[in-house]
Chains A and B, each alone.
Chain A
């Protein structure tokens, strides 16, 4: 049924409005912070950039997973799903360590308006990555039980659309928070 993909498509569109509002809030306060932590004096764009590459790569591997299913290569489907989950988890690990590093410098959501907008925006994105990881894990378990015969599966395709979306949002978030501050 095309219904499922249409639903996920509109859902993702609705979600992007949600992120647009969070980004607008960040942009609105960009440059209003005169003392205390800001993107320039507290963030490390290179480190986060490297962890971002894992997330970008995971978009590619989830596409490979879908392609393996369409050629009925069930073994590679499981491998690519697994690799996708690992890459996504590495990204979350990077974000978590970054957050704890900031907490150690007493930079929190209540410190100032940079902290507020930064943690809210990256936090909601991280939450979406975690939801995606959960769905990918369900797919992997189902794949191990041999649920996907191929060549097509709405489940795999819908999760994949969502995962690309989460990835795409991060490109915008990374550009707005990290690149805008430094270039």
Chain B
């Protein structure tokens, strides 16, 4: 396949030069995938801090029984905005943005297939975020109905404020953006690979982005249509989800989770991709079972489409439906387990180098396995009936999304920061960040398993002074404060490293994928010359022509 040069106006100066003030216009008007990728990452960092502060407010309110730090309405707004922000404006755009930055570099292309569409995707996320947060300025504030906005609570007359309308409009804009970036990624990965970069040699991160993109393209329209229906209900008095007028509240749940469960894998598959890049490099071994890692991703993507009603066991769909959705959900544990085994087998017998990216990657495996174990538990109907809508579930999905996605995101930031900025991040601060995160995270969320089993419901403003509830909640809140400290250390590390960090060589981790072949930061045109790709580790092959990964491969 030939290298195609998209018709994009060349920037006059090399990018990105964060140490120089080049003016906002060169960023705002940019269609360069590296600049857009970096803008994605910066804006998700801002949303991460906002969403984190909202979480902190929640935890302070819950620090002791019968506390009234904030009003119940504000409490509801906080957990709604925290969930929505973290899912749609932090984890999703971060992983998409990282993909936008890395995919063209990893496959040896000049840019994405559709650079202007790429810019549109980014600005739609910002537009959606502004729409969502604009609701703070309306008379009765933002949405109070939780991130899955169950009907009829999200409908008139139960929510007369404008919050849910802004919420749905904002998420609709982000949804369009996600479909656009999914389409862009698919076409880029399928048509713009460098010579010799066959699908079987594609870096695993790119594989994961490809599967995620297919999920985006086929799953986001489900929620987009549901948002459209919800908006019609709220604005034109349609009756889709209002049982009082012949509509169906359960239909919203089916539509929401039809999107919502695959969404979980949209949030975690690219994270698997980051882990699959970091672990081999820091274990100094090629990935164990490449095709199993790629293949199990496809299996997860397909399975994720048929398990949505495990979020609805408490609805009463009948034993047959419950049995099917329970078994299908448990099946997902198989391809996920395959991945965990592959990562561990890659580390097994390797020369492990615990730099900060590897610390986060290793912790990711442990935390994510905990999320997987509680996940299999709640996939079982009787257990789900006991713990559904309790703090057990809160603990479970925070282990998946924080212990899973976010730990991988941190690993990815420490790993690729030198490539993006030309500076190394501080290892000392990185280790502080890591240990504070591990301690704070587990302190906040592990204890919530027990609170959930003891019957503490989620989304309740406060609780009675039952035995141990106060002290257990206080422990959780102290953990959240440690987490806040860890974020301060992390933000400080970024700021300090941007200015004074050690200059990064082209390939500081001695990695093997193509993005490490070009300069740090890469030139506008990415590569002067894309090296021949004759295996899965092009830079290894280049350095060791006598020990090729695929000994009989020819230079194309």
In the assembled complex, the CB of B279 is this many whole angstroms from the nearest CB of chain A, namely: 31
Cβ of A124 and Cβ of B190 under 8 Å apart?
A: no
Give A36's nearest chain B residue, CB to CB: B246
Render A101-117 as a binary contact track against B, CB cut-off 8 A, 1 for contact.
00000000110110111
Cβ of B191 and Cβ of A15 under 8 Å apart?
A: no
Complex: how many Å from CA A116 to CA B238?
5
Cβ of B239 and Cβ of A116 under 8 Å apart?
A: yes
CB-CB under 8 A for A7 and B113, given A29-B246, A109-B238 = yes
CB-CB under 8 A for A10 and B248, given A21-B222, A110-B239 = no
Asked if A97 lies at the interface with its beta carbon under 8 angstroms from chain B, I say no
Cβ of A14 and Cβ of B179 under 8 Å apart?
A: yes
Asked if A22 lies at the interface with its beta carbon under 8 angstroms from chain B, I say yes
Cβ of A21 and Cβ of B236 under 8 Å apart?
A: no
Cβ of A15 and Cβ of B239 under 8 Å apart?
A: no
CB-CB under 8 A for A2 and B191, given A14-B221, A17-B221, A110-B239 = yes
Render A21-42 as a binary contact track against B, CB cut-off 8 A, 1 for contact.
1100100110011000000000
Of B221, B228, B237, which contacts A109 at CB under 8 A?
B237
A-chain residues with CB within 8 Å of residue B239 when the two chains form the complex: 110, 112-113, 116
Interface residues of B in 171-212 (CB under 8 A from A): 179, 182-184, 186-187, 190-191
B-chain residues with CB within 8 Å of residue A57 when the two chains form the complex: none
Q: Chain A: interface secondary structure?
A: helix
Number of A-B contacts (CB under 8 A): 87
Q: Chain B: interface secondary structure?
A: helix
Render A88-132 as a binary contact track against B, CB cut-off 8 A, 1 for contact.
000000000000000000000110110111011000100000000
Cβ of B246 and Cβ of A25 under 8 Å apart?
A: no
Interface residues of B in 236-250 (CB under 8 A from A): 236-240, 245-248
Complex: how many Å from CA A124 to CA B239?
17
Asked if A11 lies at the interface with its beta carbon under 8 angstroms from chain B, I say yes
A-chain residues with CB within 8 Å of residue B246 when the two chains form the complex: 29, 32-33, 112-113
Give A116's nearest chain B residue, CB to CB: B238
Asked if A6 lies at the interface with its beta carbon under 8 angstroms from chain B, I say yes
Asked if B434 lies at the interface with its beta carbon under 8 angstroms from chain A, I say no
Contact count band on B: 20 to 34
Contact count band on A: 20 to 34
Complex: how many Å from CA A14 to CA B221?
6
In the assembled complex, the CB of A35 is this many whole angstroms from the nearest CB of chain B, namely: 10
Asked if B425 lies at the interface with its beta carbon under 8 angstroms from chain A, I say no
Give B225's nearest chain A residue, CB to CB: A21
Cβ of B228 and Cβ of A25 under 8 Å apart?
A: no
Asked if B255 lies at the interface with its beta carbon under 8 angstroms from chain A, I say yes
Asked if A18 lies at the interface with its beta carbon under 8 angstroms from chain B, I say yes
Asked if A46 lies at the interface with its beta carbon under 8 angstroms from chain B, I say no
Give A34's nearest chain B residue, CB to CB: B246
Interface residues of B in 109-135 (CB under 8 A from A): 113-114
Asked if A171 lies at the interface with its beta carbon under 8 angstroms from chain B, I say no
Complex: how many Å from CA A149 to CA B239?
51
In the assembled complex, the CB of A145 is this many whole angstroms from the nearest CB of chain B, namely: 20
CB-CB under 8 A for A120 and B220, given A7-B187, A21-B225, A28-B248 = no
A-chain residues with CB within 8 Å of residue B224 when the two chains form the complex: 18
Cβ of A10 and Cβ of B232 under 8 Å apart?
A: no
Of B219, B232, B255, which contacts A116 at CB under 8 A?
B232
A-B contact list, 18 entries, CB within 8 Å: A2-B191, A3-B114, A6-B190, A11-B179, A11-B183, A14-B182, A14-B217, A15-B221, A18-B222, A25-B240, A29-B247, A32-B246, A109-B236, A110-B239, A116-B238, A116-B240, A119-B238, A120-B228
Known: A14-B220, A22-B225, A33-B246. 6 other contacts (CB 8 A): A10-B186, A15-B221, A29-B246, A109-B237, A116-B232, A120-B229
Q: Which 7 A-B pairs have the closest CB atoms?
A: A110-B237, A21-B225, A18-B221, A113-B246, A17-B221, A116-B238, A14-B217
